[in-house]
Amino acid sequence: MRRRRGGIARGQTASGWLFTAPILVILGLFLLIPVLMAAWVSVSDWTGRGSPLSPGVNFVGAQNYGQVLWAGGLAETDFGTALKNNFWYVILVVPIQTIVALSLAMMVNRRLLRGRGFFRTAYYFPSVTSSVAITVLWLFLFSTTGAVNAVISWFGVKGPNWFNTPDGIFHFGATAGPAALTGSHTLLGVTWWDWLGGPSVAMTAFVILAVFTTSGTFMLLFLAALQNLSADVEEAAMVDGANSRQRFFRVTLPQLKPTLFTVITLGLIGCWQVFDQIYTGTKGAPSKTTLTPAYLSYTAAFDNQQWGQGAAIAFILFVIIIVFTLIQRFVLADKKVSRRRMSWITGAQKNDIATGIATSAIVGKDATP
């Protein structure tokens, strides 16, 4: 009997490997091998001509990484600028698009809302539209004489020259910062005054674009999660007297934690890899204030023929994405309850049971724990 079961298990294992073999081959050819070759390019002096595995290509160690991290030249300054721009882009886009997506999902999930199908389609439509087309539309809307500045003028305010203003929005019009934040006080070749200045006006327009185009996709993820929640828990909370705010933060939101983790992870990856909007819209202008690591990697490799630097920037970006994902995984993880608190909770539960028994005995009813 054991031999028969062992033979069945081996047969199932062989069948499983047989069915997964095609996708493993495809992933190996088009994902694993290119990643390994890019890793080799990042530590070599390949010039883009011929094969990177040819005998004329030499190993240079961390030289390409050093040029963008600690060499102190233009490559380091450009990478620091790109990292600063993308950092503020992530800090603004991920929270805003998550809040907007969850708000839209809560709204279209209401049973009393008429035309829910229309609103779901309308909110999701920007997500399936070509990013190139929307970027070109954005350039017209946010131009000096565009619709956005026309609406702003209704309130007696002159709109900015969106894609030609390099000033950080947190500089509030100041042209120079204090000595403690300028001069030799730099990080990756960028002064702390520039790091703390926030995104430029042009990058702010791309932040609005990202929220507009991605909130619909994440809305569907939240909507699917909301529709799978049991109504019994919320009804019990309503019976206990919880108001709408308490029900959302203490009942609904904790149950959405897996979906929230997925949405934030996808948002982080997408924001750190932003490329097509920058390539179509500004190509890093004005004054490199919309430059991003993904676009810098492209220009270093294809425009400047610095293939090693381009590959190194790509792998640094990969590490940054992993670090941010681990951080938000730690923040959203269920915290372990200490032994002292657990013993207190257990004692409180026992006291509640004892109190219930005593109360039932007083009123003359059969008490059961």
Give the per-residue pLDDT at 364: 46
Determine the residue type at 157. Answer: V
Rounded Cα–Cα distance for residues 31 and 34 (Å): 6
Instruction: Return the C-alpha torsion angle 62, 68, 71, 73, nearest 10.
Output: 150
Question: How large is the average pLDDT for residues 305-313?
Answer: 94
* pLDDT band per the 50, 70, 90 thresholds, residue 341: low
Give the per-residue pLDDT at 337: 54
Q: What is the pLDDT of residues 62-90, one digit of tens each?
A: 999 999 998 888 899 999 999 999 999 99
For each of the domains in the chain, give its residue range(s) and CATH number, in order of start: 66-332 (1.10.3720.10)
Say which residue the tokens 């047989």 belong to. 18
| Length of the chain in terms of residues written | 369
Give the per-residue pLDDT at 64: 93
Q: What is the pLDDT of residues 171-224, one digit of tens each?
A: 877 777 787 788 777 888 898 889 999 999 999 999 999 999 999 999 999 999
* pLDDT band per the 50, 70, 90 thresholds, residue 160: confident
Tokens found for residue 138: 């954005």
Residue 264 · residue 121 · CB < 8 Å? no
Question: How large is the average pLDDT for residues 14-19?
Answer: 84
Q: What is the pLDDT of residues 131-158, one digit of tens each?
A: 999 999 999 999 988 999 999 999 988 8
What are the φ/ψ torsions at residue 44 (nearest 5 degrees)? -130, 175
Give the per-residue pLDDT at 240: 81
* pLDDT band per the 50, 70, 90 thresholds, residue 40: very high
Indicate whether 276 pLDDT > 80: yes
Residue 105 · residue 123 · CB < 8 Å? no
Rounded Cα–Cα distance for residues 261 and 330 (Å): 10
Detail the DSSP E strand segments found in the chain. 186-187, 190-191
3-state helix vs strand vs coil in the chain, percent to 5: 70, 0, 30
Q: Give the count of beta carbons closer than 10 Å to the beta carbon of residue 128.
A: 10
pTM, to two decimals: 0.85
Determine the residue type at 200. Answer: S
Residue 101 · residue 263 · CB < 8 Å? yes
Computed on alpha carbons and rounded to an integer, the radius of gyration of the chain in Å comes to 28
Report the chain's mean pLDDT, rounded to a whole number. 85
Tokens found for residue 300: 């270093």
